[in-house]
Amino acid sequence: MGSRTLIIVASAHWPTKHLFKTGRPSRTDPPSTRPGPSSAATSSLSTLPFTAPPGAPFAATWSKTCFAPAESRSFLSYVIQDTHEYKKNTVRVLKNARFAVFCILLSMCFGVPMSDEEIEKVDDILKKVLVTLLPRIDDFLPMFGMLFFNQRKRVMEVRRAQIQTILPLIERRRSMIQNLGSDESAPSFAYIDTLFDLKLEGRKSSTPSDEELVTLCSEFLDGGTDTTSTAIEWGIGRLIQQPECQSKLFEEIKSTVGDRKVNEKDIEKMEYLNAFTKELLRKHPPTYFLLTHAVTRPTTLAGYDVPEHTNVEFFSAGISDDSTVWVDPMEFNPDRFLSDKEDADITGVKGVKMMPFGVGRRICPCLGLGTTHISLMIARMVQEFDWSAPPNVRTLDFSEKLEFSSQW
């Protein structure tokens, strides 16, 4: 397979020039590192080859997907139930937030009613997909491929199980669309609707196959579940660590909505909540590294010549902690975004100081959806509960652990 050049960008000064002024040379995905017979199955489990070309059509379909407020309202019932089933007045934030976000995304993705058993089955298979995709030594040294025969066989087994689990949901939604009015309770729109008739240029088959639809739906669910729920857990941790932030947020919610439940339209009016969410994403980006970019033609970066096919990684945590563009970057301080003290365009159009969702042409198409989920769930949790550490915990440990996302 040979060697591959890798560049890691950890300064806030270079992404703007690299992704906007000279963005096209690095806007594609790198080629797969997995050689041999399992390559096709592995790429099917994760990012398909046809999503890589510039101008890939899937971003538009993600950004069309709407918010599902009904599922968010049931989130607090999981929290309340957990206080009784786990320990009195103790809540496992990540567990409940993850399940709630996953249910929301399932509804948005397929738009079909699902039993608890079906939800757990889909969740289980998607977790297996992520574990199966963990790097192996034969990804980089193909000569050892035969030593991992069982692991490659496992990839094929997980892929079959993934198709068998998710394809029936796709077929159910397809049947609903073909028989309009058969189920009046069904949502009028779902993410999968945008993929059925999607036209793909440069292919014999102009629409995605069933197997490709399975992969695209899996990426939609995986991409938004752990990242969003992890951010919510970090947010509650910061509110416990800084009770004054929790008090400010509660007072803003009270003055904005009174005694009724806060909804997604209210959060647009809440200045402190939006500042808190932005600071949360600055200090705790869901992933340390964004999706890898690959240089499509020779270019320059920071005065260095960058050859074609070079991998470029953006270290989002390092960019957010850059002391040359932030005041006290290691401090968690939502007030920095109030009264014009500091500012940062989260999309990066006005300049890159933080990039939790990426920036440029390959920015995450669900940026608005993700920030809405995070802000609304945190607002609802603060509105209903007074959050504090368990009695036996004096100080919170903010050490991180690396899983699919950076977790507390």
Q: Which residues are annotated as a binding site for heme?
A: 364
* Dihedral pair phi/psi, residue 311, rounded to 5°: -85, 135
Cα(264)–Cα(219) distance, integer angstroms: 25
- Cite the annotated binding site by residue number: 364
Are the C-beta atoms of residues 306 and 6 closer than 8 Å to each other?
Answer: no
> What would the DSSP string read from start to end of 59-101?
HHHHHHPPP-HHHHHTHHHHHHHHHHHSBTTB--HHHHHHHHH
Cα(321)–Cα(316) distance, integer angstroms: 9
Nearest Cα to Cα of residue 100 among 67, 118, 77: 77
DSSP at 261: P
Looking from the CA of 267 toward its CB, the CA atoms found within 13 Å total: 22
SS3 content of the chain, % helix, strand, coil (to 5): 55, 5, 40
3-class secondary-structure state, position 372: helix
Are the C-beta atoms of residues 362 and 28 closer than 8 Å to each other?
Answer: no
Nearest Cα to Cα of residue 281 among 370, 219, 389: 370
Q: Which two tokens stand for residue 220?
A: 């939609």
Provide the H-helix boundaries in 111-209. Answer: 116-132, 149-178, 193-196
Length, in residues, of the chain: 408
Provide the H-helix boundaries in 201-257. Answer: 210-241, 243-257
Cα(166)–Cα(211) distance, integer angstroms: 10
